[in-house]
Amino acid sequence: MVLHYYILKNEILKPSGKFGKLPFVTIQLPVYNEKYVVERLINSSVNVSYPKSRFEVQVLDDSTDETTDIIAKIVNDLIEKGFNITHIRRGNRFGFKAGALQYGLEIAKGNFIAIFDADFLVPQNFIKDTIHYFTDPQIGMVQTCWDYINRDYSAITEIQGVMLDGHFIVEHFARNRSGKFFNFNGTAGIWRKRAIIDAGGWQDDTLTEDLDLSYRAQIKGWKFLYLKDSKSLSELPVDINAFKQQQHRWAKGSIETFKKDFPLLLKEKLPLTVKLEALFHLGGNFSYILVLLLSLVMYPSIVSRLDIGWYQLLFTDIPLFVFSFFSIAIFYIVAEMERGSSFAKSILKIPMLMSVGIAMSINNSKAVLEALFNKKSSFERTPKFNITLKREKWFYKNYRVKNLSLPSVEFIMALYFGYIILFSVTRGNFFSVPLLLIFFVGFLYSSMLSFYHTLKKGS
């Protein structure tokens, strides 16, 4: 069901491109069962360097646990201190996050809407760093770059950080600077309210309401701006099962958005390069099905080449290995070096990054197929535990994701590749082993860590 929207009647921008007065901003904080991080989020939102009289905070609370009581106390204390903050309860989760944002939008006082998820901290200078770009009346949204308070917590958080670096440091920057469409990431950005409404408002018919609204707004002609050097801190999932749940939602939602918005984009009079980039952007997760298919046919491929000789294998497997992964490696190495990492440290991260990416093919292929065949699912938010230091524990906390089915399939795939490696070594096909190891390590690591995080008891 598509959520309704209403017409905005006023705008505070003057035709000259200068603000008539300091803009009033609404900061929206959509929350659902976030008792471990909600205090951190709210306190950061009211501490922005902006006059109290020129911003409000909406805590859009759909919680069903003690999070609501925690929010109520924090909000009451902040109201007594003179902050313009409201605790908004809908009584249901209709439309999930999209529904909460739309509900808040209709009563928001600001003509500019900043949005932060529960795993983020609102930067103190966020409004000051972003609001002046809206003096250009064509700017509909400004997105800041993500950074992470717990990147070094574990191997899986480090891998997530590298994956997201590629998205924010390379993809977003390149798309924005080359005039292509890019997307609001659901948080750490600020919208012109009129742009949201003009594009049809927040709609809940995909799992990625942020990506959907982004494309509808840009199709309408609104311009987006990405600020690579403005950082917004967040907490990465420490539970690999939560990470997989997040990846599933993003992958499924992107294909749902592809089906919904790409036909609309094709009808628009836009440069062919914009349409092609949108095709690759929205349809990028189809590649996980190809990776999974490649994994499944690996053994027949090895068997079919047993008799061609080592010399021929040298000139088939090694180039295949190099060219298949060269572009991916360069992509992430550039991102890490831009972040300040050395070339040597950057390149050492690539093998494990590729292994985990390959292991995600089962989880994300399932998501893609569900989207293709119109299997609807509810919005599952990613649990956060307020974990920043390596010594901190999270196994005893609520919101843990229980997942044993897909990790079992991943473990079977690890056994499959273990057999292929043994088969290849015993027949002298050593040139295929490096490629096979990437698949084997990825599936084994992902499955074992999922089992561990599912079955580990709190202490």
| pLDDT 10s digits, 366-396 | 999 999 999 988 888 898 999 988 889 999 8
Tell me what pLDDT residue 301 has: 83
Domain boundary among 197, 214, 236: 236
pLDDT: which is higher, 70 or 403: 70
- Cβ atoms of 122 and 209 closer than 8 Å: no
- Which residue bears the tokens 């999922």? 450
| pLDDT 10s digits, 429-448 | 787 888 899 999 999 999 99
DSSP calls for 177-233:
HTT------SSSEEEEHHHHHHTT----SSS-HHHHHHHHHHHTT-EEEEEEEEEEE
Residue 290 sits in the same domain as residue 413 = yes
Q: No. of H helices and E strands in the chain?
A: 18, 7
CATH code, domain carrying 64: 3.90.550.10
Nearest-angstrom CA–CA distance, 134 and 23: 10
Residue 220 sits in the same domain as residue 309 = no
* Total number of residues shown for the chain: 459
Catalytic residue among 119, 210, 239, 317: 210
Nearest-angstrom CA–CA distance, 35 and 26: 23
Tell me what pLDDT residue 5 has: 28
Specify if 6 maps to a domain: no
Helix H segments across 340-404?
Answer: 343-348, 350-372
Residue 192 sits in the same domain as residue 48 = yes
pTM: 0.91
Q: What is the dihedral of CA 402, 119, 366, 217, to 10 degrees?
A: 160
Nearest-angstrom CA–CA distance, 341 and 328: 17
Q: Specify whether 239 is catalytic.
A: no
Catalytic residue among 61, 62, 129, 204: 62
Specify if 14 maps to a domain: no
Nearest-angstrom CA–CA distance, 382 and 33: 10
How many independent structural domains does the chain possess? 2
Tell me what pLDDT residue 12 has: 33
Q: Specify whether 62 is catalytic.
A: yes
The confidence band for 18, taking pLDDT boundaries of 50, 70 and 90, is low
Which structural domain range is residue 444 located in? 285-382+402-455
Specify if 201 maps to a domain: yes
**Closest CA relative to residue 11, chosen from 107, 110, 101:** 110
The confidence band for 401, taking pLDDT boundaries of 50, 70 and 90, is confident
- Cβ atoms of 237 and 243 closer than 8 Å: yes
- Other C-beta atoms lying within 10 Å of the C-beta of residue 368: 24
Specify if 154 maps to a domain: yes
Specify if 371 maps to a domain: yes
Element (H, E) at 77: helix 67-80
